[in-house]
Structure 1
Amino acid sequence: MHRLFRNFTASIIVLFVLGALFLLENHPNISTIFGGVALFLIGMEYMENGFKAFSGSLLEKILERFTNNTPKAIFTGFIVTAIIQSSSLVSIIVISFLSAELMGLTSAVGVIFGSNIGTTATAWLVSAFGLKIKISAYAMPMIVLGIFIPLFLKSGSWKGIASILIGLGIIFLGIGYMKEGFETLKEGLDLAQYAIAGYTGIFVYVLIGAAATVIIQSSSATMAIIITALATGQIEYANALALAIGANIGTTVTAALGSLKSNENGKRLAVAHFIFNLTTAVIAILFIYQLAELVDRLAVMLGIGVENYAMKLSLFHTIFNVIGVLAVSPFIHPLVSFLNTLFIPKGATKGKPKYLDDAALALPSTALSAIVMETKHLYENAVDIIAHGLNLKKKNLLSSMDLDEVIEDVYTHGSFDIDEFYNHWIKGIYGEIIDFSTKAQANMPTDYIEELYKLKLASRDIVEAIKDTKHLQKNLLIYTNSSNPYIREQYNDIRKGLAELLRTINTIATTEEEDVIMLLLSKAKVHAKRYDIVTNGTLDKLIRKGLITKKMATSLMNDSDYAYNISQKLIAMAEILFIDIRSDLKKLNEEMSVSDEEVEELMKG
């Protein structure tokens, strides 16, 4: 599939380049249009980076807080995209939230639906301002101001504002060049003479619009070209409507290509985007004449001139996207149910990372959340191995069964190969956590890097607890089956103590009350001291009374140390993963640039 998309895109680009070379040779002025498109795309990139730096935490907070139901998700996607003029940035944040499980697929689909309406703001910007005033005259002052701001104001927010100003200035320049290019081109080549009437023309221009968007990789840039060409009379109004529909379809190819390296939810989101845009396009094509008539009536009501085709095209673009949302959103839950049947991982996934998707690297918060989730996944796998190594059944361990009964219900299959399961279930995930952490660290502020370091320690503690379990396992299997009741009792006490600890950590992991968590952890630390059988006199008593042999005593002393190390590593891990990180993440969220009340006021406004 990846190769098919790549070959398809490459073929279109080759044809486009050949066509462009032909046009440039015969009509040199067309280079002005290409230059305008290039400037427009560069400006969009600057604006996206600027908004990411200036209001990244605000965008995250809005998308996390106001997407808990479908209408709110759609509205949030619309308003955020309309303001920041970047559906790709919204998509990046949504996919990163999905990867870190900070957002459900239903909410993500809703945001993408709303984002489609938000992208129509670009068309309004170009048609309402870019063509009515000499917008390029404002470009240079904005670019100069954007360049000078970082020289005096060094904070990240001001740098973001500077990048937004530079981006807007470059976009204005691009619109000016495109307008000038089409006006000059008309003197030597009138593209309107190639207009095609009827549904044949509609289908042809839909394909052209889709192909242009695939090549340019931006529906906003495609719409800017269409509007400037329409305003200068280079294309017919009916054909421009079809081009706008095609631009919507073209974005689905871009989204599909972008999702190829994403995780399962990223791919599902791309499919949802494709279904939505295709459905919207089909509705728009089937009812294009009725929609055009609706636009004419609304244009009169809104005071848009009869021959102001650029503004009418923007209105058409908005209307058919809104109709698409109204048509598809009632079926969003069945759609998500269908999406969840797609891209099911084949084969065993227990030993593979579940949350370390590169999409989560887009933001420090989602990268950190992904590592937290993956470390918990690592611990879940470790519990399986440690429980087996202690000859305990995990289902009993995590139930309400009495601990004496838990240690009595043993496996009968003999030795459990910890090395084999470590290699299959732990080693790969641990390596991926370290690798992902290294990538994430490159774009993280100091506060986040400190949390990242704690998570690395937690992962290391999990791995070392498994290795100590391996050392403990050999003698444990021997002496729990010994005919000597005293040594058997000591090793069963070790099993019982570690079983109690694992059960306590499971309770800590599922409890939100901080005072309960601290109490449980304190008890676990006290109980861990039971393994110091030299200090508490247990070993001396057993030897003095001749209850165990010297060999048994040596083994018991060493294995008690292993048990103590296991308990210490697991307690340290639990303290980081379920207490420190949880409270530190809460603190980092509280230190975001805006409060919940401010966000609510912004959304109301």
Structure 2
Amino acid sequence: MEYGFTDILQLLGSLGVFLFGMKVMSDALLLLAGNKMRSILARMTSNRVLGIGTGFLITSVIQSSSATTLMVVSFANAGLLTLVESIGVIMGANIGTTITAWLITILGFKVSMSAIALPLVGFGFAFTFLKKEKLKNLGSFIIGFALLFIGLQFLKEAMPDIKNNPELLAFLSQYTDLGYLSILLFLLIGTLLTVVIQSSSATMALTLIMTAQGWIPFELAAAMVLGENVGTTITANLAAIIGNYKAKQTARAHLIFNLLGVVWMLILFYPFLKMVSWLAMYLGSESPYVSAAAIPVSISLFHTTFNIANTFLLVWFVKPIAKIVERMVPEKEMVEKEIDQPKFLSKDVLKYPETAIEAITRESKYLYKNAIFEIVSHALNIHRTDIKSDLKVKKVIKKSNILFDTNVRELYTTKVKKIYGEIISYATKAQSKLKLNEVQNKQLLELKVANREMVEILRDVRELSKNVDFYLNSDNKYIKKEYDKIRNKVVKVLRTIHLFRTEKENEVYHGKLVKLRKEAKANIHSNNIKIDELIRNDLITVDMASSLFNDYDNVNDMIDKLIEVADLLYGKRDSILNN
């Protein structure tokens, strides 16, 4: 055989050029359209047709089903997509990935791109010197596009020719005449090649070249394509290993969907291929059973018709597939972490702006509704359950006269400090490492502000707590009444914030919070008049009056911040998606 070690190296180098071109092109397209694509994905609804359309659109644009599925896994991990939504997108991605096969078939086999590929590299390179980021990315896309076809041309030249290497045909014939066993064998080869190369597009290119060179017949090439459909699921499953149960469920769903497609296709394999052959001839091509040159077109046609048929067949079984996956990967309770450890922040959320913002938002909300809510209520000797109940505010205050042993500083250190630091750290890393648009950058700034306000709320309540504890034990009924008024204000605000957070129709409660915020600012003058009156009538001492002046200022400031944080975190539902 004339094909030696140097030829093998040339084949590997050609494959490397092809893969590099595919990567450069895909990365450039992600930079050009990534924000918009991820925004569309993040706005997903449970509508199956919309999910399929979204998956198809994203994969068609960025020319990588692996990139789409990895994005879906990351979004599912962050809670931006449900399992049913993820399955719909994956179905669409499977159809979208067929566009690549048609590009290779039409431009790589029907049209010779080699003549214009090198000039395209020079043309694209010129764009990289421009100042505008979009034009630089466009230049990278042109370079990647050209390199893809240069690599394809090298692959065609590096692939051993059957005419010059007749012994190769004799070797292959051992495996091509085994009936269904041959089909299963080449299905396995397609799977393994895709797993090793980590690109179904590259395996598809190799398959198309092998058919064009006369290595393998139409039916075995089709079997390899089925194997590629299975192999491409491995990337998502590997990425999901470090993810939560949602990410694992999404990756398993991808695997099950593609395996089900392969199973029914193997049952109808030969009749389906005959239908594809008829369709190819109807569209003006030759039969793939007669002409080897016609096989690339028929394989692309098989790839497209199979994925469309598989999607339209299994789209009716999305929920049963989801249930199977949920049994395979059961929902896990969130692992109870140390009290001062973040619950939603992990390194993988910093992969995309959307996942980073979602994780930081969730962590901030968790901190606010748990630690901050608890510390503020306990610092004022009020039970959280009473605030959340339907009990009238006056009765809540009346029954909350038992003093709590609340050390605000200690609670801040054990429950807030580390998490606050992590939130600020992640937000800063996201701003410095990720390509954010103006809206996303503003959202991270707002989250930083919200967290700083939470820390300031605890400073306010720490000062307030000392006097509440002291004067609730006082024999002076007037000073007790004033501090009960202070607590009354805080209970009203905390209860309204709780309802604003938890009720679906929250516009009413948002209006109430706006009103309470205005009242807090307007009350400064009336509070001063009331304190002056108590002093004039010798109903409180000068020390009591001094404490009241400070504490009314503190509580009004604290109320303002509590409402501002609630508005920043909950005021614009799903605002992280509006970009």
TM-score range, shorter chain: 0.7 to 0.9
Query: Given the superposition, is the C-alpha separation of residues 408 and 231 from structure 1 closer, same or farther in structure 2, using an over 3 Å criterion?
Result: farther
Give TM-score scaled by structure 2 length. 0.85
Give TM-score scaled by structure 1 length. 0.82
| Cα distance in structure 2, aligned partners of 1:61 and 1:537 | 53
1:455 match? 447
SS in 1 for 2:215: coil
SS in 2 for 1:187: coil
| Cα distance in structure 2, aligned partners of 1:158 and 1:520 | 47
Query: Given the superposition, is the C-alpha separation of residues 145 and 390 from structure 1 closer, same or farther in structure 2, using an over 3 Å criterion?
Result: same
Query: Given the superposition, is the C-alpha separation of residues 357 and 235 from structure 1 closer, same or farther in structure 2, using an over 3 Å criterion?
Result: farther
8 Å contact kept, 1:54–1:158: no
Q: What displacement does 1:222 show?
A: 1.2
| Cα distance in structure 2, aligned partners of 1:219 and 1:411 | 69
Query: Given the superposition, is the C-alpha separation of residues 98 and 357 from structure 1 closer, same or farther in structure 2, using an over 3 Å criterion?
Result: farther
Query: Given the superposition, is the C-alpha separation of residues 222 and 457 from structure 1 closer, same or farther in structure 2, using an over 3 Å criterion?
Result: same
Q: What displacement does 1:116 show?
A: 1.0
Q: Does 1:192 align with 2:169?
A: no
| Cα distance in structure 1, aligned partners of 2:557 and 2:31 | 44
8 Å contact kept, 2:500–2:506: no
| Cα distance in structure 2, aligned partners of 1:367 and 1:203 | 43
Q: What displacement does 1:151 show?
A: 3.0
Q: Does 1:289 align with 2:270?
A: yes
Q: 1:269 aligns with which of 224, 247, 250?
A: 250
1:380 match? 369
Q: 2:330 aligns with which of 338, 342, 347?
A: 342
2:305 match? 319
| Cα distance in structure 2, aligned partners of 1:312 and 1:104 | 36
Unaligned runs of 5+ in 1: 1-22, 590-605
1:127 match? 105
Q: Does 1:39 align with 2:25?
A: no
2:397 match? 407
Q: 2:461 aligns with which of 469, 491, 495?
A: 469
8 Å contact kept, 1:262–1:357: no
Q: 1:162 aligns with which of 126, 129, 139?
A: 139
1:395-544 matched pairs, under 5 angstroms:
395-410=385-400, 414-416=404-406, 418=408, 422=412, 425-442=415-432, 443-445=435-437, 448-506=440-498, 517=510, 520-521=513-514, 523-528=516-521, 530=523, 536-543=528-535
Q: What displacement does 1:69 show?
A: 0.5
SS in 2 for 1:415: coil
Q: Deviations over 1:175-223 (max 9, x none)?
A: 1111111145873462634524233333333222222212211111111
8 Å contact kept, 1:24–1:31: no
| Cα distance in structure 2, aligned partners of 1:123 and 1:583 | 37
8 Å contact kept, 1:99–1:356: no
2:56 match? 78
Q: Does 1:174 align with 2:121?
A: no
Q: 2:203 aligns with which of 222, 228, 252?
A: 222
Unaligned runs of 5+ in 2: none
Query: Given the superposition, is the C-alpha separation of residues 359 and 529 from structure 1 closer, same or farther in structure 2, using an over 3 Å criterion?
Result: same
Q: Deviations over 1:408-452 (max 9, x none)?
A: 343969424555654564344323321221221122245543442
| Cα distance in structure 2, aligned partners of 1:210 and 1:55 | 30
8 Å contact kept, 1:192–1:236: no
Query: Given the superposition, is the C-alpha separation of residues 39 and 486 from structure 1 closer, same or farther in structure 2, using an over 3 Å criterion?
Result: same
Query: Given the superposition, is the C-alpha separation of residues 276 and 492 from structure 1 closer, same or farther in structure 2, using an over 3 Å criterion?
Result: same
Q: What displacement does 1:89 show?
A: 3.4
2:82 match? 104
Q: What displacement does 1:115 show?
A: 0.3
Q: What displacement does 1:104 show?
A: 3.4
Look up the equivalent residue of 1:500 and give its one-letter code.
K
SS in 2 for 1:392: coil
Q: 1:309 aligns with which of 290, 295, 301?
A: 295
Q: Does 1:207 align with 2:188?
A: yes
Q: Deviations over 1:442-492 (max 9, x none)?
A: 222455434422321210111221243344334424433544422322222
Q: Percent identity?
A: 35
**Range 220-229 or range 80-89, more displaced:** 80-89
Query: Given the superposition, is the C-alpha separation of residues 217 and 233 from structure 1 closer, same or farther in structure 2, using an over 3 Å criterion?
Result: same
Q: What displacement does 1:40 show?
A: 1.7
1:390 match? 380
Q: What displacement does 1:252 show?
A: 1.8
Q: What displacement does 1:225 show?
A: 1.1
| Cα distance in structure 2, aligned partners of 1:121 and 1:553 | 77
Q: Deviations over 1:217-263 (max 9, x none)?
A: 11111111111122112234333222222212112221111123334
Look up the equivalent residue of 1:129 and give its one-letter code.
L
1:331 match? 317
**Range 199-208 or range 93-102, more displaced:** 93-102
Query: Given the superposition, is the C-alpha separation of residues 530 and 383 from structure 1 closer, same or farther in structure 2, using an over 3 Å criterion?
Result: same
| Cα distance in structure 2, aligned partners of 1:210 and 1:422 | 54
Q: What displacement does 1:130 show?
A: 1.1
